[in-house]
Amino acid sequence: SSEISYLLFCDNFYYYINLNFYIVKKMSNKFEQISLKPGFMKHNGGVMFRNISDSEYEFKSSINENHLNAAGITHGGYLSALVDAGAGTAAHRSANNAPCVTISLDLKFIGASKLGDEIIGNVKILKKTKTLVFLFCELKTNDKIITSASGVWKIIKIKPSELVQGR
């Protein structure tokens, strides 16, 4: 059976309500910085992230001079890293915060962005199994798609005591 959900915004929170009209999940609509620990994405300016629903997520970053290529537009390597970080966080959240690693990431560069642009990433979880997360992602700036991506993430079954500290 299919379930229909509704989104209600009230007092700075999104509430997901199913057809029987009881609250399924409460999520903040505010972005949070996910680049808190030393590493590649923090070094590159950080990524803001938020949950939209159990299968939809959004992230954003602003383009600075370090992100530009010799032509003065955003480097494809930075856009690739941004998709990997944002979509990887979506995979992680959709897998109940289990660690996830990228297995496959296919990107298409459709448009360009420049210095000062805010890049918004939208992620849709297409399917989740016990061990894999399949998703689609688009990057937009100024309401234009600049990158589309599809990817597969592996859900890692690891005990919290086995995680590397500080990363």
pLDDT for position 46: 75
The pair phi, psi for residue 5, each rounded to 5°, is: -115, 155
pLDDT for position 60: 94
pLDDT for position 40: 67
pLDDT for position 30: 76
From CA 62, how far away is CA 35, in angstroms rounded?
13
The parts of the chain modelled with pLDDT lower than 50 are 1-3, 11-12, 15-28, 167
* 57 touches 50 (CB < 8 A): yes
Residue type, 107: L
**What is the reported pTM?**
0.76
Structure-token pair, residue 118? 């805010």
Structure-token pair, residue 48? 């803001």
pLDDT for position 48: 85
pLDDT for position 158: 77
Q: How far is CA 52 from CA 7, 35, 60, 122, 156, in A?
A: 10, 19, 13, 9, 24
pLDDT for position 27: 45
